[in-house]
Amino acid sequence: MIRRIDRIATELPPPTEPDPAGAAAVQELMGGRFGEMSTFLNYTFQSFNFRNRQGARPFYDLIANIAGEEFGHIELVAAAINTMLTGATPETNGRNKAPLASLKGVGNPHHFLAGGQGALPQNSQGRPWTGDYVFSSGDLVEDLTHNFFLETGARNNKLKVYEMVEHPAARALTGYLLVRGGVHQVAYARAVERLTGADLTKLFPTPRIPTEKIPECRPHIKRGDHLRLYRFSPNDYLELAAVFNGPHPETGEDLVVIDEAPEGVPAHDLPSQPAVFAPDYAPEEIAEIAEKLRVKAGMPKAPTGEVANGRTPTKPSRTARKRAAARSK
Ligand code: MN3
């Protein structure tokens, strides 16, 4: 089973200038071969299929637990994409003649035509993520080696997206994921080392990414997040600490297991985008119904959930809205 917390793994900036082309590039980190859907579902299936768990408990715990963190990475990539798409369509009360015309040929048309300006399980070319990306052979050494390779490719893609997209949400996202992916890469290398004696940690850094020089990585490194594996369960997966220990192959600092999930932060409540009916052409009507339902159920009149921006959904900046309006004329 999985327990869900309504928070995201790290802080992302609120929507500013929309960047639909950048959002399309960030999709690679969602549904690409080396994207977060791949890390999440590779480790998930490997843990589901794991035989003789009691006999190999530290390795089972490691894989199953990292799968838990990867769910949060999917969520974070989606939050970044959605932030970047916010404000890309005009905020109209009445329907313009062609409110989506300015988006023709910009970014991924599916973001607007199939979705409501939201992330999709696709890569940067708009091709759907596929289960063919899941490798779950059942052979522990093979699966762990594969996972090391998967994290290596994932870091490569994160750096390339960082270098292609300058939007602050994409930069905050890739800065964080580079650091966390680095920890998972170390974890799988160490697991292979513990199991076979083969020292994959000698391959570090692979790829050669000087994360300490990337401004968006630095706060996470300063906090020590490059050394920490969080345990995403109140009572389970204890034995991962039997594998994840010793020195970090690049810095020599001690690896640390934190016995709880990271605290996370509330996400920004991104505003309605009426031009794509998200959540409706007239979102205030749904809000009214929601309020009535809460009161009827004996709950407070105001929403109970926690969002980064309090009760008002974050609006894109005035200039961003003006530009979107101008584009739609
Ligand atoms: Mn990840």
Report whether 24 contacts 31 (CB < 8 A).
no
Beta-bridged to residue 249, according to DSSP, are none
**CA quadruple 253, 255, 259, 264: dihedral positive or negative?**
positive
pLDDT digits (tens, 9 = 90+) for 191-238: 999 999 999 989 998 888 989 999 999 999 999 999 999 999 999 999
pLDDT digits (tens, 9 = 90+) for 239-254: 999 999 999 999 999 9
Ligand 1 centroid from CA 34, angstroms: 9
Could you give the angle at which helices 168-196 and 20-31 cross, rounded to 10 degrees?
10
- The domain ranges of the chain are 20-92+99-328
Q: What is the pLDDT of residue 97?
A: 79
Ligand 1 centroid from CA 161, angstroms: 14
Ligand 1 centroid from CA 180, angstroms: 7
Give the CA distances from residue 211 to residues 112, 155, 179, in Å, rounded to whole numbers and listed in that order: 34, 10, 7
Write down the CATH superfamily of domain 20-92+99-328: Ferritin, core subunit, four-helix bundle (1.20.1260.10)
Beta-bridged to residue 256, according to DSSP, are 228
Ligand 1 centroid from CA 62, angstroms: 14
Residue 281's pLDDT band (cuts 50, 70, 90): confident
Ligand 1 centroid from CA 287, angstroms: 34
Q: What is the pLDDT of residue 315?
A: 55
Share above pLDDT 70 across residues of the chain, in percent, rounded to a whole number: 93
Ligand 1 centroid from CA 146, angstroms: 15
Ligand 1 centroid from CA 42, angstroms: 11
pLDDT digits (tens, 9 = 90+) for 284-328: 999 999 999 999 999 999 999 999 998 655 555 556 556 655 655
Q: Angle at Cα 60 formed by Cα 144 and Cα 192, nearest 5°?
A: 30
The phi-psi region of residue 120 (left if phi > 0; otherwise alpha if psi is between -120 and 50; otherwise beta) is beta
**What number of other Cβ atoms are within 10 A of residue 131's Cβ?**
9
pLDDT digits (tens, 9 = 90+) for 66-94: 999 999 999 999 999 999 999 999 876 55
